[in-house]
């Protein structure tokens, strides 16, 4: 009897804890301010003392989500990062993502692990190519999106024009929750459309601390800001007439997007965004499995690995598998089952990650992200579970479009060279292919974008002490084939069949699509399948 009561209490506790979680990704085009927004949210939650980005790239201190040396030097994010902190009575799991299109695969994997997304739009640039692709991926996965119009403290587009652009180009109906007083570049503050309250905003001295905010009455605002206040109220009337009001069901159904205005670098409008995330973003709920069923949050423990990262802290030189908890209660030290092998897996070294920092974690609930340290048996997409077997959908690989043979002339560094290549492959930093033509000593890097080569070679030198040379290959398209296809293609010029190391898939690589079609036309029954079309490729 006591065991039954205890089990019921635990189940109820899991449901309560899951309802307190908000797990979301910050996504956008490069330079829209993702890492700066990550810092600003953490600052408003009082988990850091000062924001790490205050004047853009030129005066950028090390933001907590950009832990890699290359990121800190260039002021860009080339890998995803996880931060967890509390705000009000809610646990925030914030996943920062790389904005550069060359790292779309990493971004896609992060999107599979979240329940909602915050999309940043540059007020001056509006919807950019990578923004459009990311919106489409969120739509395909049914992920609700909150839009934050960033950099309103600088010259930019008209606010109503940006609303039209969102609706016309991506088909999401914008429903502004806040509305700016003052055009882009002359930002006075925002009106909360739900309460009618106007909050005047002013950047703190230096910009690294919380913004200075003051609530004003309509009469006070009208006297202070004159024509700007009149324009804002007229625009609000137009929004009301067109029915651009928030509807929670439509938002959760990913057909509308709440919109807020501000400037992350000056911490303007960030508090309002954080409150909206707590009040409106969905909590952790049942997740679909590979079998087509939904796994309830109060089912026994389960989770999946969406990212692997090594050497986040060079003093530790370890490997961390980032796992999204999907159901049940996770407890450090529990023995779970590896979904791919059926073997037991002990979760002895479990940590909560805050950028480069880390703390031991004893328990976690649906929506949380747990860092499993030195979990070398785990791969990207692996499921872990306790009790009844469950499997979450596999995470895909994107079709590579750039190829380069990689080698080192330092024979004394060969073991480190191999170890580094294996690590990069395990993390999904780059796809590694084995070529019969070149042998095991010269693997081939296959990348979605050329910047992946730069990151891979930088990490080989910085983390493994190995300098490498790249020989770029004249291929730009790959397709999955089989053993029969490999034999058919042996006599073809400017065509190779290589083995993808991580899953032993055979990839036929061609100079261009026309060449692939010409070769396919000569070989009846030749298998050439696309790797994936995930909306980002």
Residue 58 is given by DSSP the state G
Round to whole Å and give the CA distance between 391 and 326: 11
User: What is the token pair recorded at 469?
Assistant: 């040379």
Element (H, E) at 326: strand 319-327
CB 305 within 8 A of CB 347: no
The annotation status of 100 as a binding-site residue, yes or no, is: yes
The annotation status of 503 as a binding-site residue, yes or no, is: no
CB 509 within 8 A of CB 478: yes
Surface-to-core class of residue 333, CB atoms within 10 Å of its CB (0-12 exposed, 13-18 middle, 19+ buried): exposed
Round to whole Å and give the CA distance between 285 and 327: 9
User: What is the token pair recorded at 229?
Assistant: 């206040």
Beta bridge partners of 203: none
Map residue 266 onto helix, strand or coil: helix
Residue 374 backbone zone (phi > 0: left; psi -120 to 50: alpha; other: beta): left
CA angle 158, 159, 165 (to 5 degrees): 90
Surface-to-core class of residue 126, CB atoms within 10 Å of its CB (0-12 exposed, 13-18 middle, 19+ buried): middle
How far is Cα of residue 402 from the mean position of the Cα atoms in its chain? 23
The residue count of the chain comes to: 537
Which runs of E-coded beta strand occur in 28-181?
81-87, 90-96, 116-122, 145-150, 173-176, 178-181
User: What is the token pair recorded at 125?
Assistant: 């640039």
Q: Which residue has the tokens 């909590």?
A: 283
Round to whole Å and give the CA distance between 506 and 497: 6
CB 176 within 8 A of CB 256: no
Dihedral sign (CA 107, 112, 113, 119): positive
Round to whole Å and give the CA distance between 520 and 492: 11
The annotation status of 98 as a binding-site residue, yes or no, is: yes
Residue numbering of the annotated binding site for GTP: 96-100
Residue numbering of the annotated binding site: 96-100
């Amino acid at each position: 009897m006591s065991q039954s009561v205890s089990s019921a209490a635990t189940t109820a506790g899991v449901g309560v804890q899951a309802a307190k979680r908000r797990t979301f990704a910050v996504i956008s085009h490069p330079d829209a301010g993702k890492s700066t927004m990550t810092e600003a949210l953490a600052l408003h939650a009082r988990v850091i003392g000062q924001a790490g980005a205050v004047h853009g790239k030129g005066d950028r201190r090390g933001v907590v989500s950009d832990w890699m040396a290359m990121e800190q030097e260039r002021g860009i994010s080339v890998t995803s990062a996880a931060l967890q902190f509390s705000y009000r009575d809610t646990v925030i799991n914030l996943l920062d993502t790389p904005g550069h299109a060359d790292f779309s695969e990493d971004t896609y994997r992060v999107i599979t692990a979240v329940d909602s997304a915050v999309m940043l739009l540059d007020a001056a640039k509006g919807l950019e190519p990578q923004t459009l692709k990311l919106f489409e991926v969120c739509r395909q996965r049914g992920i609700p999106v909150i839009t934050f119009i960033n950099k309103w403290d600088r010259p930019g587009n008209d606010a109503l024009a940006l609303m039209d652009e969102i609706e016309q180009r991506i088909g999401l109906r914008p429903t502004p929750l806040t509305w700016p007083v003052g055009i882009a570049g002359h930002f006075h503050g925002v009106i909360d459309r739900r309460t009618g309250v106007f909050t005047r905003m002013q950047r703190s001295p230096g910009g690294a601390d919380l913004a200075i905010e003051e609530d004003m009455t309509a009469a006070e605002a009208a006297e202070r800001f004159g024509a700007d206040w009149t324009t804002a109220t007229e625009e609000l009337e137009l929004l009301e007439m067109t029915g651009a009001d928030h509807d929670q069901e439509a938002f959760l159904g990913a057909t509308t997007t709440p919109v807020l205005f501000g400037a992350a670098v000056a911490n303007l409008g960030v508090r309002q965004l954080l409150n909206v995330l707590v009040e409106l973003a969905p909590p952790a709920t049942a997740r679909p499995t590979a079998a087509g069923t939904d796994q309830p949050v109060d089912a026994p423990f389960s989770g999946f690995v969406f990212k692997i990262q090594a050497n986040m802290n060079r003093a530790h030189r370890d490997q961390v598998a980032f796992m999204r908890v999907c159901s049940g209660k996770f407890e450090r030290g529990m023995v779970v089952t590896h979904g791919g092998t059926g073997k037991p897996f002990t979760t002895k070294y479990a940590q909560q990650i805050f950028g480069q920092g880390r703390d031991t974690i004893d328990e976690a609930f649906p929506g949380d992200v747990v860092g499993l340290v030195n979990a070398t048996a785990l791969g990207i997409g692996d499921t872990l579970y306790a009790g009844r077997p469950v499997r979450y959908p596999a995470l895909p690989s994107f079709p590579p479009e750039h190829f380069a043979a990689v080698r080192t002339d330092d024979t004394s560094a060969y073991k480190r060279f191999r170890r580094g290549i294996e690590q990069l492959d395990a993390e999904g930093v780059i796809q590694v292919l084995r070529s019969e033509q070149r042998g095991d000593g010269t693997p081939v890097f296959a990348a979605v974008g050329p910047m992946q080569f730069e990151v891979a070679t930088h990490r080989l030198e910085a983390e493994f002490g190995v300098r490498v040379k790249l020989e770029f290959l004249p291929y730009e398209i790959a397709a999955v084939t089989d053993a029969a296809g490999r034999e058919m293609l042996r006599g073809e010029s400017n065509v190779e069949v290589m083995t993808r190391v991580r899953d032993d898939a055979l990839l036929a690589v061609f100079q261009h699509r026309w060449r692939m079609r010409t070769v396919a036309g000569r070989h009846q029954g030749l298998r050439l399948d696309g790797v994936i079309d995930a909306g980002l490729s």
